[in-house]
Structure 1
Amino acid sequence: MSVEALVRGLPPHPIGLEEWDALPEGLPAKVELLEGVLMVWSRPSARHQRLAVLVMNALDAVLPPEWCAVPELDVLIEGGPTPTVRAPDVVVVRTATADERTRQDPADVLLAVEVQSPGSRRTDRVAKLAEYAEVGIAHYLLVEPGPPVVLTELVLDDGAYRLVAEHRGTASLALGATVDLDALDR
């Protein structure tokens, strides 16, 4: 299905979770739902995807068995008649919920990672930052693809994100993972 066909086939009103769930798999674009409105993003670049995999693998290597790092699982930010569903580039979720469902409840999400793309900076640094904090996601990583690659590490503290560090080169994260951010440019 093309992006145009997808957009043409949508009803001219905000959609609910039932219609969201009915969308076909394997769409040619990244799709999120913002207060019932379908948000269609172009597929990320190879560099973007490689950065996401680099961070995901580093996280997954240090997580205890009850947690796992996975790409682009849907996270339900808000339900109701006009839901919001985000798909972070990487999420750390309870292994049991990752295996049994694709849409995650934020209570089962430990960390969200967004790799910035052209046009996503404000969404990632303002909108998603506020949404993820509001639903209680404990850790948030923002990755600027550079060069140089910069990884901003934030931790939830009393309902708002607090800056832990802005990493360049080698990032030693609070969760115990080490990410060689320069590996992509070697």
Structure 2
Amino acid sequence: MTSGAPSDWYRWIPAQITARDYELLPEDFCRTIEVVDGHIVKCESTSRLHDRVARRVATQLEAGRKPEPCLMVETDVDVRISDVPLSLRRPDVTVYRCLDDDAKLYAGDAVLVVEIVSPDSSFHTDTVEKKAAYAAAGIPVYLIVFPTEAGDGIELIEEYRLSEGRYHLVCLHTRRLTLDSPVAIDAMFSELTSG
């Protein structure tokens, strides 16, 4: 539990939380939520395939980093969209400009984010709400991963690039994911999903 938070912390969470309120929440609780305009949004549990794809995409992106500029790759970290009202999301994978480990990661530091769609729970959030939020925050590249209907692989990855404040679909990846920038990656979908 974060120091300063009362032991019955869940009783004092206001309807709309501030950045200061968020700092007082227990870390393990913060890993299960996002905040949109000060309102807590509970994140659904993810599948094993979802987690495996996130890890493997992150590993491939990590391997494709170039020495300059300095970039880091993380899974499931807070990306702060705004402080007032507090808005933060937890992309499945984030590529961002190098920061000190204790520095807050703002959307302006992110150069690429990845969301893996959970058909039952996150389709609208990932394809509409987060796409709009990430574009408005100025994140240059957004990848949306669509698992197969059977949930045993990847059907499609949509690649969006920011231009004039909006995302434009630039590629539909159907069997392999290939990018040259901001990080190089060339991976067959099977490499991102196989057990």
TM-score (structure 2 length as normaliser): 0.83
Please give the root-mean-square deviation of Cα atoms over the aligned residues, in Å.
Answer: 2.2
Matched letter for residue 157 of structure 1? S
Matches within 5 A, 1:1-186: 8-27=10-29, 30-65=32-67, 66-80=70-84, 82-97=85-100, 99-101=101-103, 103-117=104-118, 118-146=120-148, 147-149=152-154, 150-175=156-181, 176-183=184-191, 184-185=193-194
Could you tell me how far apart the structure 2 residues matched to 1:160 and 1:140 are? 11
Could you tell me how far apart the structure 2 residues matched to 1:29 and 1:60 are? 22
Is the deviation greater in 168-177 or in 84-93?
168-177
Residue 28 of structure 1 deviates from its aligned partner by 8.8
Could you tell me how far apart the structure 2 residues matched to 1:20 and 1:28 are? 8
Residue 11 of structure 1 deviates from its aligned partner by 2.8
Could you tell me how far apart the structure 2 residues matched to 1:58 and 1:104 are? 21
Could you tell me how far apart the structure 2 residues matched to 1:109 and 1:29 are? 19
Q: Kindly tell me: are residues 185 and 155 of structure 1, through their superposed partners in 2, closer, same or farther at Cα, counting changes over 3 Å?
A: same
Residue 119 of structure 1 deviates from its aligned partner by 1.0
Matched letter for residue 60 of structure 1? E
Could you tell me how far apart the structure 2 residues matched to 1:60 and 1:78 are? 27
How many corresponding residue pairs? 180
TM-score (structure 1 length as normaliser): 0.87
Residue 165 of structure 1 deviates from its aligned partner by 1.1
Identity %: 29
Query: Gapped runs of 5+ residues in structure 2?
Result: 2-6
